[in-house]
Amino acid sequence: MSTHADNTTATSRVWFVTGSSSGFGRAIVEEVVARGDCVVATARRPEALADLAAKAPDRVQLAELDVTRPEQVRAAVAAAVARFGRIDVLVNNAGFSILGAVEETDEAALRATMELMFFAAVATTREVLLHMRARRSGTIVQITSVGGITTAPGFGPYCAAKHALEALSESLAAEVQPHGVRVLVVEPGAFRTSLFGAAFRHMPALDAYAATVGAMRSWVRQTDGEQGGDPAKAARVIADVVARPEVPLRLPLGGDAVDQIRAKLALIAADVDRSEALARATGFDAEA
């Protein structure tokens, strides 16, 4: 590690970002580089980030990383620590979108969805957490989705992976808080990334679901490239929140995310209210 890198990392954060070649990952890398921070930008094709590395070669390290391969995760994290001495912020961002009814989604597609957006994110978190806990400092940023709380026809597998990561992250936050490590779950709504385009996997359609999942497919095609969310602004908010002394557990992004989450919470509250008497009647009767 060069002396210049030592001086740089002493006054800036070191970020480790998965899925950095496009979308939120790319926007976050661009934002933290602009702020003077250091970043390990990982992607299956890191050459897509060569322009950023050229702008700040002393602060940007590129790493080829398929997060579903544990050996690559270990190697990338080790290389980051060797280069910069630590990882202050982990951003688990790698993912894709998948659209299909539960019946339309085959076993392999379902398992691939969970593997990338749940198991791989957990494995990367564990690998980085070893270093953060030892230093008693660090922030783990999980890029989930408004679909981490809400659902929609055709998005069952996607939402299942995001729900699972949110549940684990909520438990994780309580576990690591005494060790000086923070967890931030970011829940974006519809942002103008490739998730509705090149990064989308469509399952074969069944006529039985034309009215529900078919309508969602049409909405996705019409929305692609027209989403109201600006990834650059989202990256700026994420970096701002990470810089605060305290972070919330959840950070919705986009007015649509706020509206949808509030609507979902209202539905849950209504179901609880409607079922409360039945729920409370299931205990053992008090002895006379």
Task: Show which residues are catalytic.
Answer: 158
Structure tokens, 246: 């305290």
Residue whose C-alpha is closest to residue 163's, from 114, 211, 90:
114
Answer for the pair 93, 25: CB distance below 8 angstroms, yes or no: yes
Residue 288 has what DSSP assignment?
-
Q: How far apart are CA 95 and CA 100, in angstroms?
A: 16
Could you list the beta-strand ranges (E) of 86-242: 89-92, 97-99, 138-143, 181-188, 200-202
Residue whose C-alpha is closest to residue 239's, from 93, 31, 52, 87:
31
Residue whose C-alpha is closest to residue 22's, from 254, 252, 196:
196
Q: How far apart are CA 128 and CA 135, in angstroms?
A: 11
Backbone angles phi, psi at 260, to 5 degrees: -70, -40
